[in-house]
Chain A
Amino acid sequence: MTTHDTRPGSTGGADTAGPLHGGPDDEYTPEQLAAMPREDLDRLGARYDGVEVLHVEPGPEPGSALERRYVRQIGAVFALAGLAAFGFVVVYLGSGWFLPDWEWTIDSGTWSTLFTPLLGALMGLSLILVGLGMVLYARKLLPHETAVQDKHDGSHFDRVTTGATLVGGLHNSGLARRKLITRSLAFMGGGLGLMLLLPLGGMIKNPNTGNPLGRTSWAEGVRLLRDDGTPIRPGDQVAGSLETVFPAVPGGNRQADAATMLIRLRPEQVAESDPRAGQADFGYGDYVAYSKICTHAGCPVSLYEQETSRILCPCHQSQFDVTQGAKPVFGPATRSLPQLPLAVDDEGYFVARSDYIEAVGPTYWNRERI
Chain B
Amino acid sequence: MARTATAPGAPTTRLGKAAHEIDDRLIVAGPLRRTLNKVFPDHWSFLLGEIAMYAFIVLLLSGTYLTFFFDPSMREVTYEGSYAPLRGVEMSAAYDSALDLSFDVRGGLFMRQVHHWAALLFVAAIIVHLLRIFFTGAFRRPRETNWLIGVTLMVLALLEGATGYTLPDDLLSGTGLRIISAIILAIPVLGTWAHFAVFGGDFPGELIIGRFYIVHVLLIPAILLALIAVHLLILVKQKHTQFPGPGRTEHNVVGNRLFPTFAAKAGGLFFIVFGVIAALGGLVQINPIWLWGPYNPAQVSAASQPDWYIMFLDGSTRLFPAWDINLPGNYTIPALFWPTLVLPGILFTLLALYPMIERKLTGDTASHHLLQRPRDVPVRTSLGAMALTFYLLLIISGGNDVLADKFSISLNAMTWVGRLGLIVLPPLAYAFTYRVCLGLQKHDREVLEHGIETGVIRRLPHGEFIEVHQPLGPVDEHGHGQLAYGGAPVPKRMNQIGGARRAIRGFFTPIEEPAQVELEQQREERGVASAEARELTGSGRPSEGGKPQEPRD
Contacts and interface: CB of A to CB of B under 8 A. Distances in A.
A49 to B, nearest CB: 4
Interface in A150-168: 150-153
Interface in B354-370: 367, 369
Contact of B257 (A34, A104, A147): A147
Given A54-B247, A365-B189, A369-B332, A127 B82 contact: no
Nearest to B338: A332
Contacts of B283: 117, 120-121, 124
Interface string A129-153: 1111111011000101111111111
A298 B179 contact: yes
* Residue of A103, A256, A302 ringed by the most chain B CB atoms within 10 A: A256
A363 to B, nearest CB: 4
B200 interface: yes
Contacts of B195: 207, 364
A23 to B, nearest CB: 10
A344 interface: no
Contact of B276 (A38, A124, A135): A124
Contact of A138 (B110, B264, B282, B411): B264
Contacts of B330: 366-369
Nearest to A335: B324
A145 B261 contact: yes
B125 to A, nearest CB: 16
Contact of B317 (A54, A102, A297, A312): A297
B253 A298 contact: no
Interface string B266-294: 01111111111111111100000000000
A80 interface: no
Interface in B299-324: 299-304, 314, 317-324
Contact of B256 (A38, A147, A332, A367): A147
A275 B271 CA distance: 64
A137 B264 contact: yes
B278 A144 contact: no
B278 A124 contact: yes
A66 interface: yes
Nearest to A201: B197
Contacts of A126: 275
Interface in A235-259: 244, 246, 253-257, 259
Interface stretch (A7-15, A185-193, A314-322, A347-355): A314-322
B268 A127 contact: no
Interface string A281-311: 0000000000011001111101100000000
A102 B512 CA distance: 51
Given A149-B239, A151-B253, A205-B200, A103 B182 contact: no
14 contacts: A30-B9, A48-B33, A49-B37, A116-B110, A119-B107, A128-B271, A132-B272, A138-B265, A257-B202, A300-B298, A331-B415, A361-B203, A363-B334, A365-B189
Interface of A: 29-31, 33-34, 38, 45-46, 48-49, 51, 53-54, 65-66, 69, 92, 95, 102-106, 116-135, 137-138, 142, 144-153, 203-208, 212-213, 227, 244, 246, 253-257, 259, 292-293, 296-300, 302-303, 312, 314-318, 328, 330-335, 361-369
Given A149-B239, A213-B185, A298-B179, 11 more contacts: A49-B37, A54-B247, A128-B275, A130-B271, A131-B273, A137-B264, A203-B197, A297-B178, A298-B178, A299-B179, A366-B330
